[in-house]
């Protein structure tokens, strides 16, 4: 590849990254000269240093696993229940007509605000977090399952009819495989909602893994540590998002 | 009689009681019945599932109290300001990113990947920067809604049919005319859509911040009820909150739908 | 609107073998916003075993309706369709359908697509894969068994659909413009393939098409339909030699058949054009 083409491909990402580095350097300088209060914004170099400290002292691996387990549990629940409900809604037209808008409303409702309620019902435990994340992520799975099943191309249904498939065969051999890519989009959305809610509620109720870490460090007034922990959580979240996106794209290409 | 009814096009008496309506009523009724049974069965610790009349009483008391509306106003105020700040910043960012390929290639991925992160974890930083009062809540709302608005506007900019821009240029429209007669109408739908999403997340961000650290607002009322273990009151507040939130979402969606019709 | 022809009705003639497919007085109406439209009116014909019958007509003549009726996917029509004496009342196992649209299952590879009807019939895996392979080879796609439809061209995908239907070994192959989405050259070459297969299997085939060249290239007889309401305008015997290849298109006899059919079709096609314009005008008036 010619130099010009390579440069054109790598210039924008470099500029993007570079500007962030520049901002960090500028902030560092401004704090050192006293233009920014170092008790409100810690030195970027301090934050970088505390990364290692936070990872070692705060048992990051264990916390990460706890958060991951909560997400996984919520994820399994919302997949099983969500797809089941979605299939039900698709098959029974009356239920779909009655409930689909309700589910859509649920998708946009601020369910996480009911977390104190879950605290009362399930106590300050991982179960509260899992249940809340499950409910918060359920709606997109249901909606996408219904959407995927309904969007099965007419001609494929006709192929099934022309081969005299039974309703069960029609569902398992045609409708469901055809809907799978869309269903995975729904599951991915549900998982993302679940992660956001898991970390958020961990922070709010000061229990759990990574979310709780941020809260604890903030209450200890460990500024660089808090910033470092926030960065770490962002990293985890970005990785999760990117990985699920890769998986979804791979699934879509084979379907 | 029937003849006249037919002539004047009267509808049969039961037309609104469709099967859908009946099923919905049945579901709601079923939930209420199960609730009441759970409440009186004492299966849960007292008041965790209060009886329907207790909740209704608390709801009536709440809606009659002055401090509910005062706190509601505080929250609405915070959300509105957060939405305004985040919205304007998001709009500008979206326009820049959507309009310039290089800027988009450099920066859009950060918006895209930072979008689906739990913003509430930024709250400690917001408190440090803006204090424990309304400032940090407004900041939470603004940060929350910035991302979906920016991304939607950027996408909208890119999706403007290139042909329409060429038409404008071929008629030698000046920049102001291009902006108002071509870009703005085309961006109407993405902006409204972004605002709809933004409202949802700004609402959540602001309220969660209130539950964490505040002495006013609806979020504060919820936590206060929880701390006092006044469950009927907490249910009442949550019910009022959800009705308002879903109502607000529906309103913006309706407004968005109107923009949609023109777009089509 | 006189339909001047002596052979627009199939007169029972002493046949060597009875018809394998009989279509009797089919009529079908649809209710639309603009009132009832009669798609088909009094369509009758017979298909002989191993015969290749093409049904040709302009857009709007009800060909696809006829396809769906014979395939058993539509109900609510008058008249009857019978296979070997048995009246059909839904998709019949003796009739295999190849659809116009893209119909391969995108989540299955070629061999699994083709083996689908055998899988439904409960054939064990090893046996059905072996049998499906034969049909994959028959349509000229050997080597592509493990590929997925997204990796194939449009023409190859239609061949997969065809192989899938052939794998169920239907007595009658019913195809609705399977090559409509393909370019002319690919069509001609695939037409060769179809001819080859049909001659090899002695497959009774009923092809719905709007392409005159295709019809004359492939068929033993051609049924020309009128514009809506669809009726049988004329049945033309194609006395071109068999076995045939696509080289036949350059012969004189071919040209004469095409001209004859176009003569019949032109009138119907222009009727269709006028009808289109009238509708657009009417719709515009509605809005204003």
Q: How many angstroms separate the CA of residue A24 from the nearest CA in chain C?
A: 47
Same domain, yes or no: A120 and A37: no
Q: Do residues A204 and A129 touch, judged by C-beta distance below 8 A?
A: no
3-state secondary structure of C232: strand
Task: Using CB atoms, list chains with 3+ pairs below 8 Å to chain B.
Answer: A
pLDDT tier at C96 (50, 70, 90 boundaries)? Answer: very high
Q: Do C150 and A253 touch (CB under 8 A)?
A: yes
The architecture of the domain spanning B59-263 is Orthogonal Bundle (1.10)
Same domain, yes or no: A15 and A98: no
Q: Do C73 and A158 touch (CB under 8 A)?
A: yes
pLDDT tier at B8 (50, 70, 90 boundaries)? Answer: low
In a domain, A46, yes or no: no
Q: Do residues C95 and C71 touch, judged by C-beta distance below 8 A?
A: yes
Same domain, yes or no: A16 and A74: no
- The C-alpha torsion from B65 through B66 and B69 to B72, rounded to 10°, is -90
Same domain, yes or no: A37 and A86: no
Angstrom distance (rounded) from CA C246 to CA C194 = 11
Angstrom distance (rounded) from CA B202 to CA A14 = 32
Q: How many angstroms separate the CA of residue A172 from the nearest CA in chain C?
A: 12
Q: Do residues C54 and C215 touch, judged by C-beta distance below 8 A?
A: yes
Residue B14 in this model has a pLDDT that exceeds 70: no
Same domain, yes or no: A112 and A187: yes
Same domain, yes or no: A150 and A109: yes
Angstrom distance (rounded) from CA C117 to CA C112 = 10
Same domain, yes or no: A18 and A97: no
Q: Do A108 and B200 touch (CB under 8 A)?
A: yes
What share of residues in chain B are helix, strand, coil (percent, to 5)? 85, 0, 15
DSSP conformation letters of B66-123: HHHHHHHHHHHHHHHHHHHHHHHHHHHHHHHHHH-HHHHHHHHHHHHHHTTS-GGGGH
Same domain, yes or no: A31 and A119: no
Q: Do residues A181 and A148 touch, judged by C-beta distance below 8 A?
A: yes
Angstrom distance (rounded) from CA B84 to CA B163 = 32
Q: Do residues B122 and B65 touch, judged by C-beta distance below 8 A?
A: no
Residue B263 in this model has a pLDDT that exceeds 60: no
All residues of chain A having their beta carbon less than 8 Å from the beta carbon of residue C90 are: 164
Q: Do A159 and C97 touch (CB under 8 A)?
A: yes
3-state secondary structure of C208: strand
- pLDDT tens readout for residues C227-277: 888 899 999 999 988 888 878 888 899 999 999 999 988 888 888 888 888
All residues of chain A having their beta carbon less than 8 Å from the beta carbon of residue C116 are: 163, 173
A13, A40, A234 member nearest B117 (Cβ): A234
Angstrom distance (rounded) from CA B86 to CA B107 = 18
Task: Using CB atoms, list chains with 3+ pairs below 8 Å to chain A.
Answer: B, C
pLDDT tier at B28 (50, 70, 90 boundaries)? Answer: very high
- pLDDT tens readout for residues A130-167: 999 999 999 999 999 999 999 999 999 999 999 999 99
Q: Do B219 and A113 touch (CB under 8 A)?
A: yes
Burial class (CB in 10 A: 0-12, 13-18, 19+), A1: exposed
**What is this structure's pTM?**
0.81
Among chain A residues, the shortest Cα distance to C117 is held by: A163
In a domain, A12, yes or no: yes
Total number of domains in chain A? 2
- Which pLDDT score is estimated for A132? 95
- Which pLDDT score is estimated for B223? 92
Angstrom distance (rounded) from CA C99 to CA C64 = 10
In a domain, A95, yes or no: yes
Domain ranges, ordered by start, for chain B: 1-43, 59-263
All residues of chain B having their beta carbon less than 8 Å from the beta carbon of residue A233 are: 117-118, 121
- Higher-confidence residue of B123 and A9: namely B123
Average pLDDT (B46-64) is: 88
Q: Comparing C-alpha atoms, which of C120, C169, C162 is closest to residue C137?
A: C162
Task: Using CB atoms, list chains with 3+ pairs below 8 Å to chain C.
Answer: A
* Terminal-residue alpha carbon distance, chain A: 33
Chain centroid offset of residue B3 CA: 50
Same domain, yes or no: A35 and A142: no
Range of the domain at A11: 3-41
B105, B121, B203 member nearest A110 (Cβ): B203
Which domains does chain C possess?
21-94+170-283 (3.40.50.300)
Q: Are strands C52-56 and C78-83 parallel, antiparallel or unpaired?
A: unpaired
Among chain B residues, the shortest Cα distance to A40 is held by: B128
Same domain, yes or no: A26 and A81: no
* Interface list for C 153-212 with A (CB within 8 A): 168
Q: What ipTM does the predicted assembly reach?
A: 0.84
A155, A164, A178 member nearest C101 (Cβ): A155
- Which pLDDT score is estimated for C288? 52
Size of interface A-B (CB pairs under 8 A): 130
Provide CB contacts within 8 A for A21, sequence distance 6+: none
All residues of chain A having their beta carbon less than 8 Å from the beta carbon of residue B222 are: 113, 116
- pLDDT tens readout for residues C26-77: 888 888 877 788 889 989 999 999 999 999 988 878 888 999 999 999 888 9
Q: SS in 3 state form for chain A?
A: CCHHHHHHHHHHHHHHHHHHHHHHHHHHHHHHCCCCCCCCCCCHHHHHHHHHHHHHHCCHHHHHHHHHHHHHHHHHHHHHHHHHHHHHHHHCHHHHHHHHHHHHHHHHCCHHHHHHHHHHHHCCCHHHHHHHHHHHHHHHHHHHHHHHHHCCCHHHHHHHHHCCCCHHHHHHHHHHHHHHHHHHHHHHHHHHHHHHHHHHHHHHHCCCCHHHHHHHHHHCCCHHHHHHHHHHHHHHHHHHHHHHHHHHHHHHHHC
Same domain, yes or no: A31 and A65: no
Cβ neighbours, 10 Å, residue A30: 13
DSSP conformation letters of C127-196: HHHHHHHHHHHHTT-TT-TT--GGGS-HHHHHHHHHHHHHHT--SEEEEESTTTTS-HHHHHHHHHHHHH
Same domain, yes or no: A13 and A85: no
Which helix (H) or strand (E) segment is B28 a member of?
Answer: helix B19-41
């Amino acid at each position: 590849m010619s130099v010009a083409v390579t440069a054109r491909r790598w210039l924008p990402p470099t500029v993007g990254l570079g500007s962030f580095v520049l901002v960090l350097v500028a902030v560092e300088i401004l704090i050192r000269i006293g233009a920014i209060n170092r008790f409100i914004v810690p030195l970027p170099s301090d934050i970088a240093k505390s990364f290692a400290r936070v990872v070692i002292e705060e048992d990051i691996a264990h916390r990460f696993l706890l958060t991951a387990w909560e997400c996984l549990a919520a994820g399994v629940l919302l997949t099983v229940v969500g797809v089941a409900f979605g299939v039900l809604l698709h098959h029974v037209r009356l239920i779909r007509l009655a409930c689909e808008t309700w589910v859509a409303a649920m998708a946009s409702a601020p369910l996480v605000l009911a977390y104190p309620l879950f605290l009362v019902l399930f106590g300050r435990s991982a179960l509260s977090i899992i249940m809340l994340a499950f409910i918060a992520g359920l709606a997109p799975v249901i909606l996408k399952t219904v959407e995927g099943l309904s969007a099965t191309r007419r001609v494929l249904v006709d192929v099934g009819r022309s081969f005299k498939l039974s309703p069960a065969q029609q569902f398992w051999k045609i409708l469901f495989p055809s809907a799978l890519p869309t269903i995975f989009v729904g599951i991915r959305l549900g998982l993302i909602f679940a992660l956001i809610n898991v970390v958020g509620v961990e922070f709010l109720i000061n229990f759990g893994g990574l979310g709780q870490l941020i809260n604890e460090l903030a209450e200890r007034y460990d500024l660089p540590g808090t910033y470092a922990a926030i960065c770490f959580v962002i990293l985890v979240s970005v990785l999760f998002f990117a990985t699920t996106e890769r998986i979804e794209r791979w699934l879509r290409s084979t379907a | 009689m029937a003849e006249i009814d037919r002539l004047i096009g009267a509808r049969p008496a039961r037309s609104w009681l469709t099967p859908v309506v009946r099923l919905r009523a049945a579901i709601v009724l079923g939930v209420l019945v199960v609730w009441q049974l759970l409440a009186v069965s004492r299966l849960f610790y007292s008041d965790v599932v209060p009886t329907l009349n207790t909740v209704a009483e608390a709801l009536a008391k709440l809606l009659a109290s002055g401090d509910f509306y005062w706190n509601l106003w505080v929250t609405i105020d915070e959300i509105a300001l957060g939405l305004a700040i985040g919205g304007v910043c998001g709009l500008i960012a979206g326009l820049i990113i959507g309009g310039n390929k290089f800027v988009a290639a450099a920066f859009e991925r950060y918006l895209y990947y930072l979008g689906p992160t739990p913003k509430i974890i930024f709250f400690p930083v917001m408190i440090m920067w803006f204090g424990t009062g309304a400032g940090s809540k407004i900041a939470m709302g603004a940060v929350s809604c910035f991302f979906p608005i920016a991304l939607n506007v950027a996408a909208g900019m890119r999706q403007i049919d290139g042909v329409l821009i060429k038409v404008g240029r071929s008629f030698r429209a000046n920049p102001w005319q291009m902006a108002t007669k071509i870009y703005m109408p085309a961006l109407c739908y993405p902006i409204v859509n972004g605002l709809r999403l933004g409202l949802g997340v700004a609402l959540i961000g602001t309220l969660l911040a209130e539950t964490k650290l505040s002495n006013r607002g609806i979020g504060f009322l919820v936590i206060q009820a929880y701390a006092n273990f006044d469950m009927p009151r907490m249910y009442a507040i949550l019910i009022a909150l959800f009705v308002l939130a879903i109502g607000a979402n529906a309103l913006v969606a309706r407004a968005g739908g109107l923009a949609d019709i023109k777009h089509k | 609107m006189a339909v001047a022809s002596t052979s627009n009705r199939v007169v029972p003639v002493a046949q060597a073998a009875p018809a394998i497919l009989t279509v009797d007085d089919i009529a079908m109406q649809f209710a639309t916003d603009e009132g009832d439209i009669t798609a088909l009116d009094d369509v009758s014909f017979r298909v002989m075993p191993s015969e290749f019958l093409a049904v040709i007509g302009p857009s709007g003549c009800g060909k696809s309706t006829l396809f769906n009726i014979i395939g058993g996917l539509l109900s609510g029509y008058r008249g009857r369709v019978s296979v070997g004496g048995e009246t059909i009342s839904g998709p019949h196992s003796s009739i295999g359908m190849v659809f116009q649209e893209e119909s391969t299952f995108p989540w299955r590879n070629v061999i699994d697509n083709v083996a689908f009807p055998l899988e439904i019939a409960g054939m064990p895996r090893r046996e059905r894969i072996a049998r499906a392979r034969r049909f994959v080879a028959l349509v000229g796609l050997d080597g592509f068994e493990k590929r997925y439809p997204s990796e194939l061209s449009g023409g190859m995908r239609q061949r997969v659909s065809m192989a899938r239907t052939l794998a169920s070994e239907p007595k009658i192959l019913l195809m609705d413009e399977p090559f409509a989405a393909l370019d002319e050259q690919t069509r001609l070459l695939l037409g060769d393939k179809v001819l080859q297969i049909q001659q090899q299997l002695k497959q009774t085939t009923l092809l719905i098409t709007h392409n005159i060249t295709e019809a004359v290239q492939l068929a033993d007889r051609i049924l020309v339909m009128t514009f809506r309401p669809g009726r049988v305008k004329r049945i033309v015997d194609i006395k071109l030699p068999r076995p045939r290849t696509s080289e036949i298109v350059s012969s004189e006899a071919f040209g004469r058949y095409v001209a004859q059919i176009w003569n019949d079709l032109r009138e119907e096609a222009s009727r269709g054009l006028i009808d289109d314009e009238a509708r657009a005008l009417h719709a515009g008036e509605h809005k204003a």
